[in-house]
Amino acid sequence: MSALRSPTPMTAPTPVPILYGPDELPAQRLRTRAGLEVRWLDSRGHPAETLPEDTLILLDFSHPGAAEAARLARDLSGRALVAVGTTSGENAQGVIAALRAGVRDFIDLDASAADIALQLRRLHADIASPHVRSVAMTPPRGRVVVVLGVRAGLGTSTLVAHLGALAASALHTRPSPSGDLTALLIDLGQPVGDLGLYLDLRGDFGLEQALRGPERLDATLVRSAMPRHASGAGLLAPAQASAEGLDPLPLLVKLRALYPLTLVDLAGPSHRHWPTGLLREADAVWLLADPAVGSLVALDAALAALRATRGGDTGVGLVIARHDQDAGLPPPQIAARFGLPLLGVIPERLRTLRAASNLGQLLQDAYPRDPYLAALRLLLPHLHPFIAPPGNTGSGRLSRLLARLHAWTRR
């Protein structure tokens, strides 16, 4: 955990953040807890349109004011909004409300004074940047993407391991809520442990521990307790083989504040064992299938269950794995049949992947020019808005075909 230390003063002329709501108590707590200057404006006497521009607007999502804060968030759509609250006890419902309201970030009043001050400074810097201001309302800063393999044997864990390492490297040069923390991979696949094997990572801090005490998580703890790959990707895996019964919502809020990207491997579990709360609240769910008939039948069943869980297709996309251009239905035809956007097409590279695995390496280390990696790089911009499309993903006919297909799917 972060040691308590004196926060660095905010630079003048940084605008003073405004706590907007009917209760001044959260503003008082921020002043006392973190030694920060925070201005309170009573929402009952100051209409939303009177709030100054380019200033952080803090909304109190603590119990019992979460419903009013969610209403104010709707009135302030398009502004740089930050939720204030805690993840403990009955306040967890307020955390869920903040998550669903699409606020820009979340300040945990139980965090250390130094962490709160650092987070506020980062947020001020973000809204001062024209580029960040232009994308500031993409909710929320940290994205959660679930890769759901519709049946076993599709290489879901293999894809997540390679994609997570590529994304961590791509995000390394971008601003992050917690400095060098870029991407976190969560292993919820069956069998449990494949991600750790592919990344050659082991750790004593498990998913159950994180779920039991999300308020304990801060940048210092995750750096010291969670294993990290050389690319910067962290790993969080459960100690047990089932994801059934997990309640990830308070943890998701913490992870969004710490990591720009959280990528979840959900390979193998039947619909009855899906973590439904996670699937509802994820920013995107990628269904991974291949052109085989059995896989398409499984895709149909998985899509029906997912629509019942999420309430529609928003944020749901299709990735076709193990593609052979000389066999099976064309991927665009599969996507059209199921009414899903086609995010990417991954070629069949089982022998090369196995060869790299036998060397104890990922493809980017053993065979950096492999077409499998070219296909994954085309997926990266779908993961996070700060990752630009690749300018040149390799040479050869297959790379050019993948690039044309990527352009077609983004029309």
User: 159: which 2 tokens?
Assistant: 């894809």
Are the beta carbons of 57 and 82 closer than 8 angstroms?
A: yes
Q: What is the pLDDT of residue 355?
A: 92
Whether the pLDDT of residue 182 is over 50: the answer is yes
pLDDT band with cut points at 50, 70 and 90 for residue 51: confident
Q: What is the pLDDT of residue 203?
A: 74
Q: What is the pLDDT of residue 174?
A: 59
Mean pLDDT, all residues of the chain: 78
pLDDT tens, position by position, 229-244: 999 999 998 765 444 5
Least confident of 155-159, 208-212, 302-306: 208-212
pLDDT band with cut points at 50, 70 and 90 for residue 144: very high
Omega of the bond leading into 191 within 30 degrees of 0 (cis): yes
**CA-based nearest residue to 1, from 205, 254, 221, 215:** 221
Mean pLDDT score, 142-168: 93
User: May I ask the CATH class of domain 18-134?
Assistant: alpha beta
User: 233: which 2 tokens?
Assistant: 């990707």
Q: What is the pLDDT of residue 337?
A: 93
Q: What is the pLDDT of residue 411?
A: 40
Would you list the domain boundaries of the chain?
Answer: 18-134, 143-409
Domains 18-134 and 143-409 share a fold: yes
Element holding 84 (H helix, E strand):
strand 81-85
Q: What is the pLDDT of residue 239?
A: 66
pLDDT tens, position by position, 22-33: 888 888 888 887
Q: Look up the pTM and report it.
A: 0.64
Exposure string (b/e) for 50-84, b if CB count within 10 Å is 16 or more?
A: eeeeebbbbbbbbbebbebbbebbeebeebbbbbb
More confident residue, 333 or 71: 333
How far, in Å, CA of 120 to CA of 115, rounded?
A: 9
Whether the pLDDT of residue 165 is over 90: the answer is yes
Mean pLDDT score, 194-217: 82
Are the beta carbons of 248 and 275 closer than 8 angstroms?
A: yes
> Please, which residues have CB within 8 angstroms of residue 250's CB and are 6 or more apart in sequence?
87, 92, 95, 96, 214, 215
How far, in Å, CA of 40 to CA of 28, rounded?
A: 9
Q: What is the pLDDT of residue 408?
A: 42
Q: What is the pLDDT of residue 146?
A: 95
Q: What is the pLDDT of residue 138?
A: 37
pLDDT tens, position by position, 344-399: 999 989 899 999 988 889 999 889 899 999 999 999 988 887 776 665 444 344 44
Are the beta carbons of 148 and 306 closer than 8 angstroms?
A: yes
Least confident of 42-51, 66-75, 125-134, 196-205: 125-134
Residue 170, Cα to own-chain centre: how many angstroms?
15
More confident residue, 239 or 81: 81
DSSP state of 326: T
User: 82: which 2 tokens?
Assistant: 């930050």
pLDDT tens, position by position, 213-224: 777 777 877 887
pLDDT tens, position by position, 261-290: 999 999 877 777 788 888 888 889 999 999
Whether the pLDDT of residue 3 is over 60: the answer is no
pLDDT band with cut points at 50, 70 and 90 for residue 162: very high
Element holding 295 (H helix, E strand):
helix 293-310
Coil/strand/helix, residue 344: strand
**CA-based nearest residue to 156, from 346, 380, 398:** 346
Angle between helices 25-34 and 113-128 (to 10 degrees): 110
The percent of residues in the chain predicted with pLDDT above 90, rounded, is 26
DSSP 299-347: HHHHHHHHHHHHSSSTTEEEEEEEEBTTBS--HHHHHHHHT--EEEEEE
**CA-based nearest residue to 296, from 342, 345, 329, 332:** 329
pLDDT tens, position by position, 288-333: 999 988 999 999 999 999 998 887 777 899 999 988 776 678 899 9
According to CATH, the topology of domain 143-409 is Rossmann fold (3.40.50)
**Helix spans in 205-292 (H):** 207-212, 219-225, 249-258, 276-281
The percent of residues in the chain predicted with pLDDT above 70, rounded, is 78
User: 363: which 2 tokens?
Assistant: 């493809």
